[in-house]
Amino acid sequence: MTRETVKELSGPERARYARHLTLPGFGEDTQLRLKNARVAVVGAGGLGSPVLMYLAAAGVGHLTVIDPDRVDESNLQRQVIHGQSRRGELKAESARLSIAEINPHVRVTCVTEALEAANALEILTGHDVVLDGTDNFPTRYLVSDACEILNLPLVWGSILAFNGQLSVFWADAGRGVTYRDIHPNPPAPGSVQNCAEAGVLGMLCGQIGTAMANEAVKLITGIGRPLLGRIALYDALEARWQEVPVRRNPERAPVRELVDYQDLCGVPRRAGGVAVADLPELLAAGRALVDIREDAEVAGGMLEGAHHIRMGELLADPQAADNALRAAGAAGLADAVLYCQGGIRSAKAQAALAEAGWRVGSLNGGYAHAARSL
């Protein structure tokens, strides 16, 4: 990747960054490091929004926004880089438009394909810092492993309900801490709630996201002490920060290659799993499509032709769900295709229904995958 190094700020840039330039120990050379930096942000959602907005305002010269999803109504409570008029747009493109308004001196590259083992190294190569604000374990492990292979510093953040955490991971040729040192094994599928299930306080995204942006600026410029070897924990209800020291596991083998992260994290995709590409044919053949998410989740959209029966109701009385589907003019519950947000809950529901004598399918990747693929 060819990179041009800018050696001087323009007059308008000096005016824009005046409050930076007057900081003790900052100055124009430090601002130029920001201008010449390339930063990749994985996810333009709750955490990615403040990350991108503040990095753009700070003058990071090139931002790569990686997000395949589209803006929906349920995002707007916390994903502040998007507005009402952007519903239905790709999040990466929506973020690009907002960044252009914040700072026209920033170049933006949009990546609207999902980050996967097949493309992660190519997409992340050439950046100085990577920030991960995603909310699923396969992507977290993927980004951490890719950064370890590329020896890139990774600013990681996570939020759920009223609590957030962040750290800086950097393999540093086997000397530093990575996500795998903190979480050597993924949790069992469905054992940890996501934001769609547990909810998230909107303002918490700003608190953790801006802290992540601050860590990225420190890494790029060399000012301050980055959050290496430490995890910062924040309790929004108590307004309290805590810090936990972490260290590398000396027994852990270094990551040499990327793997199948859906399999690593136990995300069910086989054994009754339905591929998104096969869904139109199955629906044409008369199989029912059942959205088992909660009411707040479906408010942001459903797949065309789907019937909404919450997971709790479905498992409490499958026969009633079967009757409801038939009353709505659909095929019954037998052989129906269930989907949730990411495919984990629907796979659990599939297994529970099988024990009760009902054979159903589970949509691989859930609504999040299908909505951007169909």
Residues labelled as active-site residues: 195, 340
Count CB-CB contacts under 10 A for residue 223. Answer: 14
Q: Amino acid identity of 269?
A: R
Q: How far is CA 145 from CA 118, 148, 215, 224, in A?
A: 13, 5, 20, 26
Q: Chain-centre distance of CA 161, in angstroms?
A: 16
Q: Are 294 and 277 in contact (CB under 8 A)?
A: no
Task: Quote the CA–CA distance of 273 and 198 in Å, as a whole number.
Answer: 25
Rg value, the chain, Cα: 22
Residue from 214, 248, 211 nearest 229 by CA: 248
Q: Are 334 and 257 in contact (CB under 8 A)?
A: no
Task: Quote the CA–CA distance of 172 and 176 in Å, as a whole number.
Answer: 5
Count CB-CB contacts under 10 A for residue 366. Answer: 25
The H or E element that residue 18 is part of is helix 18-21
Residue from 38, 35, 257 nearest 126 by CA: 38
Q: Which is it for the CA torsion 128, 155, 210, 299, positive or negative?
A: positive
With vertex at residue 212, the alpha carbon angle to CA 209 and CA 214, rounded to the nearest 5 degrees, is 115
